[in-house]
Amino acid sequence: MIVADFRILSYIRSFINIVVYLLIKDKSKINADIERYLESYGITPHGKNNYIKELVYCSKRSREFLNVFYFRTAWYLGRYHLLSICKTIYPPKQTIGFRIDEQNLGKGLFIQYGDSTIIHAHEIGDNLTVYQNVTIGDSGKGYPIIGNNVTICTGAIVLGPIHIGDGSVIGANATIVKDVPANSVIIPAKQRMIKLNGNPVNLAF
């Protein structure tokens, strides 16, 4: 009975999200987002085209998913002045920022944790995975283009009018300001000790 009550409450809290989801004709991007989050939980979706149960579950389970969903549906929510209501009922992460045309954001976006994460890109392909403390943004000359199936790990910085090729992995704390070929794995330079007991040194560490 308690489980049933929780499920009913979750559907009530997700009512606006469900209505907006049903209004959207092309659900392929949102469905792909849902599938990525369910995959991370080890869950297989039961629906075919309508993932209402799955939407409710992800809305309850992940604030990062809510950021993605609210961004995808901002036009609908804004048109009917519902965005602030949704954010009050189911608050997203406050530390995730988007600046990209939704049409240029591919399907299957997965944000893990999302603390201090900025996603400002010219174009992003399908199935991007982003971890916490990531910055994707402007170098003063333009914004990146990110291919399909790219993973950007914790603390990485991707700046400027560059292209990140399909299937690439940007390692933790890497700073990328040049094009990255497809299927590459980029790691930051080796750490070096530059001072010891107040004296300059240059040692691999």
Per 3-state DSSP, what percentage of the chain is helix, strand, and coil (rounded to 5)? Answer: 35, 20, 45
Q: How many CA within 13 A on the CB side of residue 58?
A: 33
Tell me the sheet residues that pair with 79.
Answer: none
Report the CATH number at residue 106. 2.160.10.10
Q: Tens digit of pLDDT per residue, the chain (205 long)?
A: 333 445 788 888 899 999 999 988 899 999 999 999 999 999 988 766 679 999 999 999 999 999 999 999 998 888 778 888 888 988 999 999 999 998 999 999 999 998 999 999 999 999 999 999 999 999 999 999 999 999 999 999 999 999 999 999 999 999 999 999 999 999 887 766 767 788 888 876 5
Burial of 72 (0-12, 13-18, 19+ CB in 10 A): buried
Same domain, 90 and 101: no
Same domain, 102 and 134: yes
Same domain, 111 and 125: yes
Same domain, 106 and 83: no
Contact 90, 17 (CB under 8 A): yes
Q: How many domains, the chain?
A: 2
Same domain, 51 and 119: no
Q: Write down the residue that tokens 């933790």 correspond to.
A: 172
DSSP type of residue 152? E
Q: What is the pTM of this model?
A: 0.87
Q: Extract the runs of DSSP E, i.e. beta strands, from 39-102.
A: 96-99
| Alpha carbon distance 137, 158 (integer Å) | 6
Same domain, 18 and 37: yes
Same domain, 194 and 102: yes
**Range of the structural domain that residue 82 is part of:** 1-94
